[in-house]
């Protein structure tokens, strides 16, 4: 397997683990919340309105595993259990993106990622 294939497999495994953790820690979320929450980090694409460099920075900031993990840990340690599934859904989103080949963006444009170019040329 290539490095990119390993990273995509890792993303898939992280996605499933994070969805499982979110599912066992959330308290009665309605079904419609799941797709909304799972896609919420993509609001960072609005950063591209300020140009490719700013867009890549904002997008990449919202697409780090660490922020979701930090939210979940703060929720766990601070007794704010509602933050745990939110953090895990964030992690699941990042894992899903990686599994689909949507990596961290390069400042040259949205389609240029650390996992290669996305879309058709």
Give the tens place of pLDDT for each residue, 64-92. 999 999 999 999 999 999 999 999 999 99
* Structure tokens belonging to residue 1: 């397997």
Give me the sheet containing 109-113, strands edge to edge.
105-106, 109-113, 116-117
Show me where the domains of the chain are located: 9-116
DSSP-based three-state secondary structure for 22: helix
Rg (CA), the chain: 15
pTM: 0.91
Query: What is the pLDDT at residue 59?
Result: 95
Phi, psi dihedrals of residue 114, rounded to the nearest 5°: -70, -10
**pLDDT digits 0-9 by tens, 29-71:** 888 999 999 999 999 999 999 999 999 999 999 999 999 999 9
């Amino acid at each position: 397997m290539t490095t990119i294939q390993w990273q995509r497999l890792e993303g898939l495994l992280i996605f499933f683990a994070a969805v499982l953790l979110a599912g066992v820690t959330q308290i009665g979320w309605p079904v419609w919340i799941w797709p909304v929450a799972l896609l919420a980090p993509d609001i960072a694409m609005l950063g591209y309105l300020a140009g490719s460099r700013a867009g890549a920075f904002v997008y990449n900031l919202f697409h780090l595993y660490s922020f979701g993990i930090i939210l979940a840990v703060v929720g766990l340690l601070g007794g704010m259990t509602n933050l745990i599934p939110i953090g895990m859904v964030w992690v699941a989103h990042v894992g899903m993106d990686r599994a689909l080949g949507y990596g961290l963006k390069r400042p040259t444009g949205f389609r240029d990622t650390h996992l290669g170019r996305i879309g058709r040329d």
